[in-house]
Amino acid sequence: MNPKVIFIIAFVAVLIGIYGIADTLLSSNTPTPQLQTPVQSSPILAKKQQSFTVWRAKQDLRRGEPISLDKLSRELVEAEQAFSLGVKRDVKLDFDPTVLLTSDIKTGELVFSEHQISPSDASYVKFLTRPERVLYPLTIATKNLINNYIQPGDRIDIMAVTSPKQSLANPGKAITQFKGVKASLLMQHIRVVSIDASTIGQLTKTETKAKQAKENNHETTIVIEIKPDDIAKLSLAQRTIYLEIYPSQAYGRRPAVKMSDIIENYSGIVELRGAKQASYNEVLF
């Protein structure tokens, strides 16, 4: 073989070997790329970026009263501040008028659901009863009640129609003896604890209609708070006279009306039969 050809082949082989060694060295010195793991925000960081709803009193709130939106201000607080106040979620309050506050709350203080008590709570009735007061179930006529006009917590006056000639305890019974019939104020500023809405009917908030007495639906029962000394008076009253309730009012004089105040020159029709007298009257109700 020609010496020149051998020399060229050997030279090429040496170059290939040198290139291979250099490539190996360079590859070993190149850092291996690492996969980038996406950074996730920690749960604590995520919570710190949240905010929660709280309610703050705009005026002093008293124990035993319902709360309304106009007495509170709604605020959003950052999670970190909320956690320091013991708030871990949005504060939700019940604005139903039967749900009451269990303690006094001063202006600027936060209001929580723990400050409220509802009729579904076992201790609700005891909570409503003030010291030296008792609860009394009073049966009253529904003829002149207005739907949703009287609510638990309201103050009422109890009006009584009495007759010395007949019992008026049954509201569906007509008055046949006018003599001595009188309407007067029996009790004043009595607090209502509950009222049987099932016999009064439920209307929408935009409706105001008088409750009309219907057959077998002349009465309803309300629970009121009274002094123990008044139990005997009410027990006798609801068995002998006609009772109605109205929101408490300020009177110029204590209401008391007789038949002669309504019918001018009323004296009844009198018939003499020997030594006896008999009065005849038209039916009033």
Whole-number percent of the chain with pLDDT over 70: 68
Which range, of 3-7, 38-42, 70-74, 204-208, averages the lowest pLDDT?
Answer: 204-208
Which of residues 195 and 100 earns the better pLDDT score?
A: 100
Q: What is the pLDDT of residue 282?
A: 42
Which of residues 113 and 166 earns the better pLDDT score?
A: 113
Contact (Cβ atoms closer than 8 angstroms) between residue 261 and residue 151: no
Q: What is the pLDDT of residue 145?
A: 79
What DSSP state is assigned to residue 245? E
Tell me which of 63, 89, 117 is where a domain ends.
Answer: 117
Tell me which of 83, 117, 151 is where a domain ends.
Answer: 117
* Domain carrying residue 90: 47-117
What is the reported pTM?
0.54
Residue 152 placed within a domain: yes
CATH of the domain at 76: 3.90.1210.10
pLDDT digit string, tens, across residues 24-66: 666 655 555 555 555 555 555 444 458 888 999 999 999 888 8
| Dihedrals phi, psi of 164, to nearest 5 degrees | -80, -10
Q: Which residue has the tokens 């001595």?
A: 180
Q: Please spell the DSSP secondary structure of 36-99, one letter per residue.
A: PPPP---HHHHHHT-EEEEEEESS-B-TT----GGGEEEEEEEHHHHHHTT--S-------TT-
